[in-house]
Structure 1
Amino acid sequence: MCSNHTVVRCNEKDQETLLTFKQGINDSFGRISTWSTEKDCCAWRGVHCDNITGRVTKLDISYNQLEGEMNLCILKLEFLSYLDLSVNDFDVIRISSIQHNITHSSKLLYLDLSYNYPILHMNNLDWLSSLSSLKYLNLTEIDLHKETNWFQAVNSLSSLLELQLRECNLNKFPSVEYFNLSSLVTLDLSGNKFTSYLPNWLQIVNSLPSLLELKLSGCSLNNFVINPSIQYLNLSSLVTLYLSDNDFTSHLPDGFFNLTKDLTSLYLSFNNIHGEIPSSLLNLQNLRHLDLSYNQLQGSIPDGIGNLSSLSYLSIGSNNFSGEISKLTFSKLSSLDWLDLSNSNFVFKFDMDWVPPFQLSHLSLKNTTQGPQFPSWIYTQTSLQSLDLSSSRIALVDRNKFLSLIERIPNELSLSNNSIAEDISNLTLNCSILFLDHNNFVGGLPNISLIAQIVDLSYNSFSGSIPHSWKNLKELRVMNLWSNRLSGELPLYFSNRKQLETMNLGENEFSGTIPIMMSQNLKVVILRANKFEGTIPQQLFNLSYLIHLDLAHNKLSGSMTKCVYNLTRMVTIHETSLFTTTIEFFTKGQDYVSRIQQERRTIDLSANNLSGEVPLEFFQLVQVQTLNLSHNNFVGTIPKTIRGMKNMESLDLSNNKFFGEIPQGMSLLTFLDYLNLSYNNFDGRIPIGTQLQSFNASSYIGNPKLCGVPLNNCTTEEENPKNAENEDDESIRESLYLGMGVGFAVGFWGICGSMFLIRKWRHAYFRLVDTVCDYLYVTLIVKLNSFR
């Protein structure tokens, strides 16, 4: 940001361009609220100006959750050298008049439009031709499938050093002769839909003399077996090679690594590579990064891997390796910084007093056999940023060392699915992502860092109330406290958590009323099985992002307030991005543990004391898949609009006071897999249709005046009047009349129209009429004469 903006003011022309750019933006969180004429534009958020000229040279508004239109009129800024609009929520790009408006020689060196959700679509890249000075271009996750000449567009950028086109839905890879970017150092085309043979791809290395880094991950490449004698594969200058996520099904040929002796980074994860690690790997003495994870590799780790002294990143988990791992494996790996051995069957044999020669920043031993004692060598890792020991059978810890360790980890700490029983109520955990679920932790909840985004403490024995220190967790997005012994009222400061998306407080002993004000970003609200009382705040039904609401098994009472429902995600399907965590879904009369599913829509208000009529809006939430209103005192009828809820899989209205007929439209709910309408006051005939007859009698019992399959047969008196009034019979009758009318019109004009249009038919018709008339006349005269 310009530090001397009080002396040198922002250029008026630049300010006008910035304000034009802002017009199409929906800034829900006020991230660029400083962008107004009341302030000099050099003081605006993300805007940087030259200290002498006051011209805008840099604009960085990434990671700001901006929505709406990304107007590339911003490229009209004459002295702009750096533009970063990445990681926002722009949903459209406006590029129609860019080339006509850019009359100056562009000074732009850095351009990043990547990672905007929903996915942006761009039909052409012709506008790139005016950015001749560009050195860095990142269009990752922009859909370019309609731009068939993308390689010709980027070819005009002769100064380009780095090109990122990851996951752009590209499907046509250019011929080698078109790739003439002689300055290119890094090329990332991973995650597209190319289908080709690997040797054909690697020929581009020869056409790009400066290329040091090549990323082809996730491109559906095949023919992985490479013959080292193929001379045109000159990979000697390549230092970084990404081939991950390509579904290779071959083994690693022993001579493969002889092609790339200067290689420093090799990524082959997420393939189906089988066999053993070839000995030629040990020839890569400059190797610093090795990722072989998520393959089908077998055997033991080569003894010589410990001689790769430059190795700083080693990820070989999620394979079928076996054998022992001991201190000899790591004896010379003093540079090791990242170690991932997760999901493996290694036998770990380390002495209790072993002190490794390295200091790790990341360690993952998830789903390995470590316990019951916490591995003592991990206590020596004072530089750990992330630690994952989930599902590693740990029960016993050295209390003082353990508490000191978990308190200093700043990024991610995952100890899920172990049997650790410690009191950590006096700790302040400083990590941003915390998973301590499925353990035996006791005492009060710990203090949490202000940077925390995900906190999962479910399935423990924590007690007491939510600490007052949690009021400052303004970055928190996921809070999962399911199944503990927590109590007390929910603090009023919950309304300050504007980023909160998932709030799971189920299976505790919380009491009081549900807070009126909550985060407008909430997508999952679970307060199930507590002691909440009072009415349901109508504000809950104005959470436009909400997809899962569970207030079941509380003491809620009163009627459902009639209000304007704004549950947008329950009506229309939008791409929903959620942090991964485990929650409990209760559906089909049972419960099951599940990861949050993006498309799942659920409402459960069962087992309360709610009364009155259910607002009509409830039965217009057409994307809802599970609706449970059972065990309350609701009255009224099921509205006919329920026929529109065609995604419904589980519907439970049992044990209420609903009355009237079951709408015929319910037979149209073809996905319905669980239905319970028992113990109400429904009457009349169960609508005929294979869907509703597929459930057994238990779905309908407790309704004395209800009849029809699968219950007892209806009498004629019960059946006929009700069928006469059925809304779908009316619809059928209307359709029949309409069909008859249309059929008559079609038949009439089909015949008559043909006679009018076809001369032969017309003459034949009139001849027939004349003949019939003559016949009738003669017959009539003969009869009259006979009477005389």
Structure 2
Amino acid sequence: MTTQMSLILLLLLFVTTFHKSISSNDHRLVRCNEKDQKTLLTFKQGINGSFSRISTWSTEKDCCVWEGVQCDNITGRVTKLDLKGQPNFDDEPIKVLKGEMNLCILELEFLIYLDLSWNEFDLIRIPSIQQNLTHASNLVYLDLSSLGLDTLHISMDNLHWLFILSSLKYLDLSGLDLHKETNWIQKVNTLPSLLELRLSSCKLNNFMLNSSIGYLNSSSIVTLDLSYNNLTFQLLNGFLNLTKDIKHLDLSWNNIHGEIPSSLLNLQHLRHLDVSQNQLQLSIPDEIGQLAHIQDLDLSMNMLSGFIPSTLGNLSSLNSLSIGNNDFSGEVSNLTFSKLSSLDILDLRRLSVVFQFDLDWVPPFQLTEVYLDNTNQGPNFPSWIYTQKSLQYLDLSSSGISFVEFSSLTERIFVELLLSNNSIFEDISNLTLNCSWLGLDHNNFTGGLPNISPIARVVDLSYNSFSGIIPHSWKNLKDLTYLNLWGNRLFGEVSVHLFELIQLQDINLGENEFSGTIPIKMSQNLEVVILRANHFEGSIPLQLFNLSSLFHLDLAHNKLSGSMPKYVYNLTSMITFHLNSWYPATIELFTKGQDYVYDVNPDRRTIDLSANNLSGEVPLELFRLVQVQTLNLSHNNFSGKIPKTIGGMKNMESLDFSNNKFSGEIPQSASLLNFLGYLNLSCNNFDGKIPIGTQLQSFNASSYIGNPKLCGAPLKNCTTKENPKNTTPSTESEDNDTLKESLYLGLGVGFAVGFWGICGSLFLIRKWRHTYYQFIDGVGDKLYVTLMVIMHVEDLALFCKS
């Protein structure tokens, strides 16, 4: 009996195991739903080009194993679709979808999660809601943010399709152009389960404050982001029907005005509040201290005034505090921050308040970021900052500092150290600066250059008194993208390794005493090259004109010689316009006879080779760089003619060919340069008539003087001389000897009669004698005038040489 029971139990165990095995195999054998597969393939039809995930979508494979697709293990229905793009911000975006985004994808009935963000669609197709989009109520997560990276904003005409997403809890449409959807608030209000709404940078229309339908019914929302929309409503009590449970509210970068309403400060669960970059006015209410759970508070870049309330010091949970760029008055002391033990980021930049920190104050927090630029901190460096052992970002630019204990400071700041525009007088040549972003420009640093850590990406040491050579160790700065040493006392040859740094985009060595030749090998990523006002000699390297990203080249005021390279220029950025990289500091531009300073994101195309010893004809390739806006070849020895192709450089704003040896006529095509604001063709050998055009006649004569054979407005009018008529020689021959004798005889008799006739008359007739003397005086006057003209020409020659 026992044996039988054992056999029965064993059989039951086997059956159970076998059943589970079959069930498990059945689950693995469940294939993608045919309807879902058809919908996915319809979506794929609108995609252009190859994409690693989409290219695997084929009927030869089960759609549940397609890249980015996830199915339910039992039903085989598609539940998750993750096709988020993967942009490469250092270069062109990679692994992105392009073409048409078809919202037929919402026909996937059991889809819970959909992420199509960070792609490059140029069109959004919304199918008929009534016919197709009736089964998408299971969708919980939808992210369509940051589409259309090339065009910045891709337009979505309406949001009518939102009403079917009754289960939606997360919605992110940031970056979509929704300005045509005038009732976006009503459409969002149809989502009863919505917890997180992100509509940043959507070009939203303003709230209709005079109508109840204009209020966003956010009774369920815990996260709301309406930043970067240029909203101009007044921040009134109850402007939104905010739930008491809201935790994240971002209204930054709009034009919201009015005062901070007390209702906003009653949101007890608020963790993140950002109303920066608006036009909020009056003072911060004392009720700010009621936000007991607030962690991130950003009121910066507004028009807030009055005293900074002491109740800020009660926000013990505060992690980040930004109140800079306002009009506060009064003073700030260490008592304001005495309870902020959790503080990690402090932004008080551009405040006119008086800072009263005790010299021996040790804060209760350890900050990683401090922004005190454009405040009055000096002359001594704030002593409490030395106590911050975890500091990574420090900005004390323009704060009146003249003394810093660098050895105590630079050892631990590994990201950003900005001390620009102070009066720091110190020799730091024996230090190694370990940060990635270093800004010590516009100070009084002396001695040699410091050693720089290999992690450095941005180095600005311009406008100081550094001397000596560039340290050999700088060849190890493999990540360096921006280097500015303008306006120091550096000398010697520049190491070829510096130009070879692969990541280098911007190099500015202007206003120093560097010598030698310009290195031949250089980074192919260079966009800005400034070597102005040094002692570089030799020829211009061919490689400079093969840098496809280069848009600003300044080699002026050196000792360069020889001719310009003659071959196909690969300066793509000067032929086809595109936005260049963001720049961390200013770039010096010299144009229109003045110094210009361009801030971040410069888009001006410039070539300046002036004040060198360059010669020969200017290659035709130079005049094919149609995006160039400033071209300066003055004070060289260039010769030849200006080609007709100069008329194609229609973006030209500043053109200087003065003090060269250019010749020939100014081409008629030059009159097509309609944006010229500065022109100087003086002191050359141009001839003929100045072409008639709107711009060329708008300049005064100084733009053309020093070209003796040039005429036409604004110079003197051109005169046409008639050629003398041809005379027909006599066909009869005469005796040469007889002719000569008769000629000599006639001359002799004529001279004798004329001499005695005139002289005798002068002696005998008084009236004739007075007329003769007047004639002599007139000849003297003419000689004087001629002498003055010659002296004026010599002065003009000296002007052209200057």
Q: Same fold (TM over 0.5)?
A: yes
Residue 642 of structure 1 aligns to a residue whose secondary structure is helix
Q: Which amino acid aligns with 1:370?
A: Q
CA distance in 1 between counterparts of 2:522 and 2:295 reads: 48
Equivalent residues of 2:174, 2:201 under 8 A apart = yes
CA distance in 1 between counterparts of 2:191 and 2:430 reads: 58
Tell me what 1:447 maps to.
Answer: 451
Q: CA deviation at 1:106?
A: 9.0
Among residues 179, 201, 206, which one is paired with 1:196 in the alignment?
A: 206
| 1:636-675 alignment runs, 5 A limit | 636-675=640-679
Tell me what 2:222 maps to.
Answer: 212
Equivalent residues of 1:78, 1:107 under 8 A apart = yes
Q: Cα distance 1:144–1:152, how it changes in 2: closer, same or farther (>3 A)?
A: farther
| 1:129-140 alignment runs, 5 A limit | 135=141, 137=143, 139-140=145-146
Among residues 155, 158, 177, which one is paired with 1:149 in the alignment?
A: 158
Q: Which amino acid aligns with 2:614?
A: L
CA distance in 1 between counterparts of 2:329 and 2:704 reads: 56
CA distance in 1 between counterparts of 2:105 and 2:121 reads: 22
Q: Which amino acid aligns with 2:281?
A: H
Residue 461 of structure 1 aligns to a residue whose secondary structure is coil
Equivalent residues of 2:153, 2:175 under 8 A apart = no
Q: CA deviation at 1:214?
A: 0.5
Tell me the TM-score normalised to structure 2 length.
0.74
Among residues 251, 255, 260, which one is paired with 1:252 in the alignment?
A: 260
Tell me what 1:236 maps to.
Answer: 244
Q: Cα distance 1:319–1:431, how it changes in 2: closer, same or farther (>3 A)?
A: same
Q: CA deviation at 1:308?
A: 1.5
Q: Deviations over 1:457-484 (max 9, x none)?
A: 1111222222232223222221111111
Q: Which amino acid aligns with 2:374?
A: N
Q: Which amino acid aligns with 2:315?
A: L
CA distance in 1 between counterparts of 2:331 and 2:651 reads: 51
CA distance in 1 between counterparts of 2:412 and 2:271 reads: 31
Q: Deviations over 1:179-237 (max 9, x none)?
A: 55555443211222111227679954546x2x311011122334324235x8x824201
Equivalent residues of 2:78, 2:108 under 8 A apart = no
CA distance in 1 between counterparts of 2:153 and 2:566 reads: 46
Tell me what 2:429 maps to.
Answer: 425
Q: Deviations over 1:402-443 (max 9, x none)?
A: 322123112211111001122222322222211111111222
Tell me what 1:281 maps to.
Answer: 288
| 1:604-615 alignment runs, 5 A limit | 604-615=608-619
Q: CA deviation at 1:137?
A: 2.3
Tell me what 1:170 maps to.
Answer: 178
CA distance in 1 between counterparts of 2:662 and 2:316 reads: 74
Q: Which amino acid aligns with 1:187?
A: L
- Which has the larger displacement, 642-651 or 547-556? 642-651
Q: Cα distance 1:134–1:388, how it changes in 2: closer, same or farther (>3 A)?
A: same
Tell me what 1:71 maps to.
Answer: none
Tell me what 2:751 maps to.
Answer: none
Equivalent residues of 1:650, 1:673 under 8 A apart = yes
Q: Cα distance 1:183–1:335, how it changes in 2: closer, same or farther (>3 A)?
A: same
Q: CA deviation at 1:242?
A: 0.6
Structure 2 residue ranges without an equivalent (≥5): 1-40, 57-63, 71-76, 724-802
CA distance in 2 between counterparts of 1:21 and 1:487 reads: 59
Q: Does 1:601 align with 2:612?
A: no
Tell me what 2:320 maps to.
Answer: 313
Tell me what 1:360 maps to.
Answer: 367
Among residues 635, 638, 649, which one is paired with 2:639 in the alignment?
A: 635
Tell me what 1:85 maps to.
Answer: 86
Residue 443 of structure 1 aligns to a residue whose secondary structure is coil
Tell me what 2:299 maps to.
Answer: 292
Q: CA deviation at 1:444?
A: 2.4
Among residues 306, 311, 324, which one is paired with 1:304 in the alignment?
A: 311
Q: Identity of paired residues, percent?
A: 55
Q: Which amino acid aligns with 1:624?
A: V
CA distance in 2 between counterparts of 1:187 and 1:718 reads: 84
| 1:489-504 alignment runs, 5 A limit | 489-494=493-498, 496-504=500-508
- Which has the larger displacement, 383-392 or 197-206? 197-206
Q: Which amino acid aligns with 1:536?
A: I
Q: CA deviation at 1:711?
A: 2.5
Q: Cα distance 1:579–1:661, how it changes in 2: closer, same or farther (>3 A)?
A: same
Residue 466 of structure 2 aligns to a residue whose secondary structure is strand
CA distance in 1 between counterparts of 2:686 and 2:597 reads: 34
CA distance in 2 between counterparts of 1:471 and 1:718 reads: 70
Residue 287 of structure 2 aligns to a residue whose secondary structure is helix
CA distance in 2 between counterparts of 1:472 and 1:107 reads: 51
Equivalent residues of 1:622, 1:646 under 8 A apart = yes
CA distance in 2 between counterparts of 1:255 and 1:147 reads: 34
Equivalent residues of 2:101, 2:124 under 8 A apart = no
Tell me the TM-score normalised to structure 1 length.
0.76
Q: Does 1:715 align with 2:719?
A: yes
Q: CA deviation at 1:94?
A: 3.2
| 1:2-401 alignment runs, 5 A limit | 24=49, 83-88=84-89, 89-90=92-93, 93-94=97-98, 111=115, 113-114=117-118, 121-124=122-125, 135=141, 137=143, 139-140=145-146, 142=148, 145-150=154-159, 152=161, 162-171=170-179, 172=181, 173-176=183-186, 179=189, 181=191, 184-197=194-207, 203-206=215-218, 209=220, 211-228=221-238, 233-258=241-266, 260-397=267-404, 399=405
Equivalent residues of 1:395, 1:420 under 8 A apart = yes
Q: Cα distance 1:147–1:319, how it changes in 2: closer, same or farther (>3 A)?
A: same
Q: Which amino acid aligns with 1:409?
A: I
CA distance in 1 between counterparts of 2:206 and 2:486 reads: 48
Aligned length: 654
Residue 683 of structure 1 aligns to a residue whose secondary structure is strand
Equivalent residues of 1:244, 1:271 under 8 A apart = yes
CA distance in 1 between counterparts of 2:83 and 2:452 reads: 37
Q: CA deviation at 1:134?
A: 7.0
Q: CA deviation at 1:654?
A: 0.8
Q: CA deviation at 1:317?
A: 0.8
CA distance in 2 between counterparts of 1:450 and 1:416 reads: 21
Equivalent residues of 2:376, 2:400 under 8 A apart = yes
Equivalent residues of 1:557, 1:609 under 8 A apart = yes
CA distance in 1 between counterparts of 2:412 and 2:629 reads: 43
CA distance in 2 between counterparts of 1:422 and 1:496 reads: 31
Q: CA deviation at 1:684?
A: 1.5
Q: Does 1:464 align with 2:471?
A: no
Equivalent residues of 2:46, 2:99 under 8 A apart = no
Q: Cα distance 1:657–1:134, how it changes in 2: closer, same or farther (>3 A)?
A: farther
CA distance in 2 between counterparts of 1:650 and 1:514 reads: 26
Q: Deviations over 1:689-732 (max 9, x none)?
A: 3422222222222212122233333222399xxxxxxxxxxxxx
Tell me what 1:514 maps to.
Answer: 518
Between structure 1 and structure 2, the one with the greater Rg is 2
Q: Cα distance 1:254–1:598, how it changes in 2: closer, same or farther (>3 A)?
A: same
Equivalent residues of 1:132, 1:156 under 8 A apart = no
Equivalent residues of 1:83, 1:110 under 8 A apart = no
Q: Which amino acid aligns with 1:148?
A: D
Q: Which amino acid aligns with 1:525?
A: V
Q: Deviations over 1:736-782 (max 9, x none)?
A: xxxxxxxxxxxxxxxxxxxxxxxxxxxxxxxxxxxxxxxxxxxxxxx
Residue 223 of structure 1 aligns to a residue whose secondary structure is coil
CA distance in 2 between counterparts of 1:326 and 1:660 reads: 73
Q: Does 1:563 align with 2:567?
A: yes
Among residues 385, 407, 410, which one is paired with 2:414 in the alignment?
A: 410
Q: Which amino acid aligns with 1:137?
A: D
Equivalent residues of 1:429, 1:447 under 8 A apart = yes
Q: CA deviation at 1:109?
A: 5.1
Q: CA deviation at 1:270?
A: 0.8
Residue 281 of structure 1 aligns to a residue whose secondary structure is helix
Tell me what 1:745 maps to.
Answer: none
CA distance in 1 between counterparts of 2:396 and 2:85 reads: 37
Residue 444 of structure 1 aligns to a residue whose secondary structure is coil
Tell me what 1:740 maps to.
Answer: none
CA distance in 2 between counterparts of 1:673 and 1:701 reads: 18
